[in-house]
Structure 1
Amino acid sequence: MSVLNKLQPEGVFAIFEQLCAIPHGSRNTKAISDFCVKFAEQRGLRYIQDENNNVIIFAPASAGMEHAQPVILQGHLDMVCEKTPDCDLDMEKQGLRLQTDGEWVWADQTTLGGDDGIAVAYALAILDDASIQHPPLEVILTVDEEIGMLGAASIDLGQIGGRRLLNIDSEEEGVLLTSCAGGATVSCSIPMMWSVKKGLRVTVKIHGLRGGHSGTEIDKGRANANVLLGRFLNELDKEYPYALCTVDGGLKDNAIPRESTADMIISPDYLEELCAYAAKTQNAWREEFGENDPEIAVSVQEIGIDSHEVMFGDCRRNTLAVMSQLPNGVQAMSQEIEGLVQTSLNLGILKTDFRGVHMTFSVRSSINAEKDALMEQLADLMARYGGGAEINGEYPAWEYRKESKLRRIMTQVYTEQYGEAPKIQAIHAGLECGLLAGKLPDLDAISFGPDIEEIHTTRERLSIPSVQRTWNFILGVLKACK
């Protein structure tokens, strides 16, 4: 039964609901890619689908606009899959459980994937409506944007003729983005040796955090559960003895982690003191982070008396030392654009296995030299404690274009429709425009989109009125691109 069938624009929400029924987390994009291919085939449109599941769909101009230069509509097919701890949905195999109150759309207990399912829905709805006026269209739908823009890096754009690109991958209506930070994923590891210790096994859990996008929310003063866990373990080490089994937290490098846990072996006589220490720490953190993260919780769960592998000697010391010294969060603010984060990093994933402790960071900067220096700092820190670092998914910054015909067109259309000029801004989060501009010389690109709140979290929601207004805006821009 359809949940969104009464919402406007009807064609956009009908397609969006179909997309949400298809599991499409990063690295799980074959089904949604095939959906787009079938969509093109059923409408007799030429398409390209590559081995990585990127899709390009070509549509001829509407009547009277045959001589206009092509316009590129662009978004990504994958989403960040996050869910609440009590959610029973298998996001690898099951579709989302959509809900709406007539003003917002969200998914029950999971992320919604409005980032960037709404771009795909807009593009396909335009291709599906013969009454819409538009130049020749080239729809570029990439994969694995959320894990390093891998699709944009691998896609072959040799058959693309357009040099005007509408990137529908932003979450604030009324803002036209004209540049973004570059970034990379840095995977760090501390090698491990193990011994066996018997005692009371407990799990310390840092939870209740707000989390968020590691680009757009990195400056909101929200806590990082993995960083807090490191603080807790290092302070605890000064007060009481414990043996450390594992540290684990976070699922995505580009999402600020909401939960992190440590398994440890303690003396049974120490349990009451540990619980009191956890409560004291929780109160101190709630005061420290205030309204930015008011529900931080530190809990202790008793598992039972047993023998378990624990981190041995120097390996444990190295792990605690790294976790206490690693940089995280905002590192520099822009001197040119007020309020813009220039350089940051996020410890998004913390994981323990038999080989060691692994830490995955999302590093971002609009200054390449600062990005490189930050990655070198991580590598040096790891090397100091016997570990290593590997850089993956590096992508360039998207530089501001002083002269932009597309920006003038979009500003004019927006002003006519809204009665005021849009905001022209840069963003700290990564966008695919930089990679695409490197493949398409002289590319004129703008990123924009409807209001989407709390992306990459289970509180994500999409504004219905904003989707309608942005739809009208897109149609106006296409009509004006003569």
Structure 2
Amino acid sequence: MSELSQLSPQPLWDIFAKVCSIPHPSYHEEALAQYILGWAKEQGFWAERDEVGNILIRKPATAGLENLKPVALQAHLDMVPQKNNDTVHDFTKDPIQPWIDGEWVKARGTTLGADNGIGLSSALAVLADKNVEHGPLEVLLTMTEETGMAGAFGLQPNWLQADILINTDSEEEGEIYMGCAGGIDFTATLPIDREAVPEGFAHIQLSLKGLKGGHSGCDIHVGLGNANKLLARFLFTQAKALDLRLVDFTGGTLRNAIPREATATLAVPADKLDALKSQALHYLETLKSELALKEKNVNLVVENVAASGPALTAASRDAFIALLNSTPNGVIRNSDVVKGVVETSLNVGVVAIRENEAVINSLIRSLIDSGKEYVVETLTALAELAGATARAKGSYPGWQPDATSPVMALVGETYKKLFGRTPNIQVIHAGLECGLFKKPYPDMDMVSIGPTITGPHSPDEQVHIASVGLYWQLLTALLKAIPTK
């Protein structure tokens, strides 16, 4: 038995413990999908998959509630795989290890997958719990949301029968989401030339680490450090001055996670090695001062390594470092319409140097299409100045807020009756699948709710236990309060 079994509501936490035990990072959700299909059929529910792998499960209405509008509960199957550098974990094979730390559930050295595992578990718990009263019910579980929303893109019309969709992918209890940002991936690819490292050079690895990382949408305004940008800043000031030869650069693992670590492999003239170490120490003190309130564990480590092949020519080195250093990152503009919400941002998520090219991958988010277009144009101009090729792909729409949404009003009324306080109506600066669902189901009324999850997309991810109980109360009360057709 998992220690989560002691938590309430028990059916939800038991299912979440099972979800954690089955590896399900993006592109590797099949084992979890097969388990859920088998479970649904054992319970006697109608269940099937579509061409892209999405799962749809149907449960008849509670006796006497057959005339309520049909509702779909929606979650995604995949989780973001991020781990601490000293954690040994294969996300495709090893289970997540959840544990209780006071008021929170966390994972040991990895992302927890509460995003969106808690929402997924709540939908299955509604199916399993005979005490939950509801009208005609569907559960839609989508594929590969975290790396491009493939399941939502592939959702076909006329499959769902629901009039109302409740998305369970929000991450703040007490807030109702009625809109979200759209996004687009941007890649700058810079051709590079290499040459042999001269004699008399020492080979070192310069690693910036210890950053918190986080969700590239929900956390982009917090002021967290981006390892790719911080290391590029140091290289820009020191590469020419110390005659550094850049052999390799790698940073970040996902375009939708703020990168926690970045590493440059360098060759430095032996007589300038001490100067490099001194400058690195000075830069570290600068970062500790600048990021004192946000990044208490930032570190810049210089280590000796074996020689590892040719380095970039000076021209290629300078072009790469200048391009990375000048690429904007973070909040571009705050919304004038929705106060306190970011309108447009980008995250320089993954950077890598290959044999003959350097690649910079960013994720752009915006509540408005023109915001995305502006950042794409900016990055394209930078790429052209550096001699790089630019490619924008995978654009997905935002979810336009509907202030007249009946289900949003119902959630607000239900919340106030349950808890005696008014919830916040919000637009989230992250990609929810609702915007994509609107294409095949333009008339479906949608809302997004969830428990409190902090640090998603990072090993600091945790879910607040009490908030899960409140979310469950809201969800189950809402299902009973759905109006008739």
Q: TM-score range, shorter-chain basis?
A: over 0.9
CA distance in 2 between counterparts of 1:66 and 1:355 reads: 63
Q: Is the contact made by 1:61 and 1:135 (CA closer than 8 Å) also made in structure 2? A: yes
AA aligned opposite 2:319:
N
Q: Are 2:461 and 1:463 equivalent residues in the alignment?
A: no
Query: Quick one: which of 204, 218, 228 aligns to 2:206?
Result: 204
2:218 alignment partner in structure 1? 216
Q: Is the contact made by 2:324 and 2:360 (CA closer than 8 Å) also made in structure 1? A: no
State the percentage of identical aligned residues.
36
CA distance in 1 between counterparts of 2:202 and 2:382 reads: 33
Matches within 5 A, 1:445-460: 445-460=446-461
Task: State the SS of the aligned residue for 2:141.
Answer: strand
Q: CA deviation at 1:146?
A: 1.0
1:261 alignment partner in structure 2? 263
Q: Is the contact made by 1:197 and 1:310 (CA closer than 8 Å) also made in structure 2? A: yes
Q: CA deviation at 1:313?
A: 4.0
Q: Deviations over 1:150-208 (max 9, x none)?
A: 21111224221212111111111000011111111112211122222142110111111
Q: CA deviation at 1:369?
A: 0.8
1:94 alignment partner in structure 2? 94
AA aligned opposite 1:417:
L
Unaligned runs of 5+ in 2: none
Q: Deviations over 1:121-163 (max 9, x none)?
A: 0011111122211011111111111112121111224221212
1:376 alignment partner in structure 2? 377
CA distance in 2 between counterparts of 1:348 and 1:228 reads: 12
Q: Deviations over 1:323-370 (max 9, x none)?
A: 121111111111122221110000010112113111111100111112
Q: Are 2:430 and 1:429 equivalent residues in the alignment?
A: yes
2:418 alignment partner in structure 1? 417
1:17 alignment partner in structure 2? 17
1:153 alignment partner in structure 2? 153
Q: Are 2:294 and 1:281 equivalent residues in the alignment?
A: no
CA distance in 2 between counterparts of 1:377 and 1:308 reads: 34
Q: Are 2:454 and 1:476 equivalent residues in the alignment?
A: no
Q: From the superposition, tell whether residues 238 and 267 of structure 1 become closer, same or farther in structure 2 (CA, over 3 Å).
A: closer
1:131 alignment partner in structure 2? 131
Q: CA deviation at 1:102?
A: 5.3
AA aligned opposite 2:116:
D
Task: State the SS of the aligned residue for 1:148.
Answer: coil
Q: CA deviation at 1:401?
A: 0.6
Q: Is the contact made by 1:145 and 1:151 (CA closer than 8 Å) also made in structure 2? A: yes
2:351 alignment partner in structure 1? 350
CA distance in 1 between counterparts of 2:157 and 2:453 reads: 29
1:386 alignment partner in structure 2? 387
Q: From the superposition, tell whether residues 418 and 204 of structure 1 become closer, same or farther in structure 2 (CA, over 3 Å).
A: same
Q: Deviations over 1:204-233 (max 9, x none)?
A: 111111211111111111111100111111
CA distance in 2 between counterparts of 1:160 and 1:52 reads: 15
2:333 alignment partner in structure 1? 332
Q: CA deviation at 1:74?
A: 0.5
Q: Deviations over 1:452-479 (max 9, x none)?
A: 1111111111111111111111010000
CA distance in 2 between counterparts of 1:386 and 1:239 reads: 23
CA distance in 1 between counterparts of 2:47 and 2:192 reads: 49
CA distance in 2 between counterparts of 1:157 and 1:355 reads: 44
CA distance in 1 between counterparts of 2:428 and 2:297 reads: 28
CA distance in 2 between counterparts of 1:316 and 1:104 reads: 45
Matches within 5 A, 1:163-178: 163-178=163-178
TM-score for the superposition, normalised by structure 2:
0.97
Q: Is the contact made by 2:177 and 2:428 (CA closer than 8 Å) also made in structure 1? A: yes
CA distance in 1 between counterparts of 2:47 and 2:141 reads: 11
Task: State the SS of the aligned residue for 2:439.
Answer: helix
Q: Are 2:32 and 1:32 equivalent residues in the alignment?
A: yes
Q: CA deviation at 1:48?
A: 2.0
Q: CA deviation at 1:111?
A: 0.5
Q: Which moved more, 1:387-396 or 1:462-471?
A: 387-396
CA distance in 2 between counterparts of 1:157 and 1:286 reads: 52
Q: Is the contact made by 1:209 and 1:259 (CA closer than 8 Å) also made in structure 2? A: yes
Q: Is the contact made by 2:155 and 2:440 (CA closer than 8 Å) also made in structure 1? A: no
Task: State the SS of the aligned residue for 2:36.
Answer: helix
Q: Is the contact made by 2:252 and 2:262 (CA closer than 8 Å) also made in structure 1? A: yes
Q: Is the contact made by 2:173 and 2:451 (CA closer than 8 Å) also made in structure 1? A: yes
Q: Is the contact made by 1:196 and 1:307 (CA closer than 8 Å) also made in structure 2? A: no
2:55 alignment partner in structure 1? 55
CA distance in 2 between counterparts of 1:376 and 1:59 reads: 48
Q: CA deviation at 1:391?
A: 2.2
1:363 alignment partner in structure 2? 364
CA distance in 2 between counterparts of 1:101 and 1:333 reads: 35
Moved over 3 A (4+): none
Task: State the SS of the aligned residue for 2:124.
Answer: helix
Q: From the superposition, tell whether residues 215 and 418 of structure 1 become closer, same or farther in structure 2 (CA, over 3 Å).
A: same
2:83 alignment partner in structure 1? 83
AA aligned opposite 1:423:
N
Task: State the SS of the aligned residue for 2:204.
Answer: strand
2:272 alignment partner in structure 1? 270
Q: Is the contact made by 1:364 and 1:428 (CA closer than 8 Å) also made in structure 2? A: yes
AA aligned opposite 2:428:
I
Q: CA deviation at 1:289?
A: 2.0
Task: State the SS of the aligned residue for 1:291.
Answer: coil
CA distance in 2 between counterparts of 1:358 and 1:51 reads: 32
Q: CA deviation at 1:312?
A: 2.2
CA distance in 2 between counterparts of 1:330 and 1:102 reads: 33
CA distance in 1 between counterparts of 2:75 and 2:197 reads: 51
Q: Is the contact made by 2:245 and 2:268 (CA closer than 8 Å) also made in structure 1? A: yes
CA distance in 1 between counterparts of 2:75 and 2:402 reads: 20
Q: From the superposition, tell whether residues 194 and 439 of structure 1 become closer, same or farther in structure 2 (CA, over 3 Å).
A: same
CA distance in 1 between counterparts of 2:103 and 2:403 reads: 37
Q: CA deviation at 1:51?
A: 4.0
Matched residue pairs, number?
Answer: 481
Q: CA deviation at 1:46?
A: 1.5
